[in-house]
Amino acid sequence: MKRTLSLLLCVLLTLSLAGCAPKEETLQIFAMDTVMDMLAVGSEAREALSASAQEINRLEALLSRTRESSEVSAINSGKTVTVSDETAELLQRAVQYAALTGGTFDITVEPLVSAWGIHTESPKVLSADEIAALLPLVGSGHLHMDGRTVTLDEGCSIDLGAIAKGYASDRVAQIFRDYGVEGGWVSLGGNVYAHGTKSDGKPWSVAIRDPQNTAGAAALVGLSNQFAVTSGGYQRYFTAEDGTVYQHIIDPSTGAPAISDLLSVTVICGNGTMADAYSTALYVMGLEGAKAFWQQHSADFDMVLITQDNILYYTPGLQGKLTVDEGGAYDAKLLS
């Protein structure tokens, strides 16, 4: 009898411990034109992931330039519109980032994004005249805001594609905190957020994709409660009949796809929205511009730059966190 009782106790104890063990849940969705993966560990992991997916879908409905019912489409219709506080705030931040990055990140580049059509089934190589006709429509000065009231100058339009996923990752980070997620990560296209730690207490290992062999990693970086956002020509491009490759990030100063000496830029910091805006901007700036920008703002972010000539530059904040394959495709060099 005693034996049976202690056996029963043992079984109950095992069951209750199993019940308390934090659950690991994963979720994959397709939103904002990309595959998104998420993993969360915690007693409310499933709820956290489902709330995150809902939030991402809500933001896509609000911010997509291709959804007719979005606030961005309402702004792009050319009428004066009243938008939500959230959209107004994000627009204000976008304008600030445009000013900070010397206009290399600029949401008003939309007319050129659309005309090149690199996201579409029918991309087009624009002539110099076509570019010249659209370039005057680019510039934050065309976006007029008075609180939540927004007006664009005639013919102008905006694209939040270079910042919306970063903003979504900030919102997901907040949801993970709200649901007491112990550890986890999300990868929204090139936008990663690493939350807490793995169950062994170590940081999450985030792969920086090899831009020349996208199935592999150029480096791994250990992150906890940080964002790592990558921009690169390899993420979206088309090859014209003459073999020229046109990638999706437009240089707002030329109106053409940026010709960068960088293959990819990864910005690492505690703010997903800023990381997203900066990674796009630094890709346009190229190696020298990106280095100079980081030197001015080194307190705000770390970065990894992968160059056309196979060098992987990283900033001192990543020392001890970054692993680059010795003898691999890239020579790692510390920036100072």
Which residue's CB is nearer to Mg ion, number 226 or number 279? 279
59 binds, among Mg ion, ligand AMP, none (CB under 5 to 8 A by kind): none
Question: Per CB under 5 A, does 235 bind Mg ion?
Answer: no
38 binds, among ligand AMP, Mg ion, none (CB under 5 to 8 A by kind): none
Decide: helix, strand or coil at residue 3. helix
Nearest-approach distance from CB 78 to ligand AMP, in angstroms? 20
Nearest to 228 by CA among 265, 260, 183, 182: 265
Which residue's CB is nearer to ligand AMP, number 231 or number 315? 231
Pairing of strands 311-314, 331-334: parallel
Which residue's CB is nearer to Mg ion, number 235 or number 279? 279
Amino acid at the residue 78? G
Query: Of the listed pieces 235-243, 279-287, 302-310, 320-328, which binds Mg ion according to CB under 5 A?
Result: 279-287
Token digits of residue 268: 């690492």
H or E segment at 221?
A: strand 217-223
- Counts for the chain of helices (H) and strands (E), in that order: 8, 19
Q: What spatial distance separates the first Cα and last Cα of the chain, rounded to whole Å? A: 72
Amino acid at the residue 131? I
Question: Per CB under 5 A, does 280 bind Mg ion?
Answer: yes
170 binds, among ligand AMP, Mg ion, none (CB under 5 to 8 A by kind): none
Instruction: Kindly report the backbone phi and psi dihedral angles of residue 102, in degrees, each rounded to the nearest multiple of 5, phi listed first.
Output: 65, 30
Question: Per CB under 5 A, does 162 bind Mg ion?
Answer: yes
**Site of interaction with ligand AMP (CB under 6 A):** 105-107, 109, 113, 159, 161-162, 190, 231, 235-236, 248-250, 252, 276, 279-280, 284
Beta bridge mates, 36: 29, 188
Question: Per CB under 5 A, does 276 bind Mg ion?
Answer: yes
Which residue's CB is nearer to ligand AMP, number 64 or number 197? 64
Contact footprint for Mg ion (CB under 5 A): 162, 276, 279-280
